[in-house]
Amino acid sequence: MSQNSRTVKVGLIQMQVSADKSANIKATELRIREAVARGAQIICLQELFATEYFCKTQNHDFFALAEPVSGNTGIWAQKLSAELKIVIIASFFEKRTEGLYHNTALVTDADGCLLGIYRKSHIPDD
């Protein structure tokens, strides 16, 4: 390795979640803090980490879980990134506008800025 190269530690977090979004986010934050204590600088969360994975079926009740990028989950990720000086990749159910939903991954930088988003539209119709 050259003198300019450096090792970056990635923390991958996957866990069982419940129907309680708030409790899932609190449990995720605890695991993020544990990973950072072990040296992780980039944290990648599981798909739809704050909710149960509902994409196996289509149920209109789940649309109530959707939020904009600037919603509570995005704000939480940005604040935690800035506090811990880490990058977070967080997947959540995004509502862009009425009738337009995505399984979105947002990426926050170590200063809390939103680096970017990746939207996918594979949530099944049946």
Structure pTM? Answer: 0.86
Q: Which residues contact 43 (CB under 8 A, 6 or more apart)?
A: 10, 11, 13, 32, 35, 36, 86, 87, 88, 89
pLDDT 10s digits, 19-60:
899 999 999 999 999 999 999 999 999 999 998 877 777 777
Q: Which helix (H) or strand (E) holds 77?
A: helix 72-84
Is the distance from CB of 34 to CB of 66 less than 8 angstroms? no
How do residues 75-106 score in pLDDT, each as one tens digit?
A: 999 999 999 999 999 999 889 988 888 889 99
Q: How confident is the model at residue 121 (pLDDT cuts 50, 70, 90)?
A: low
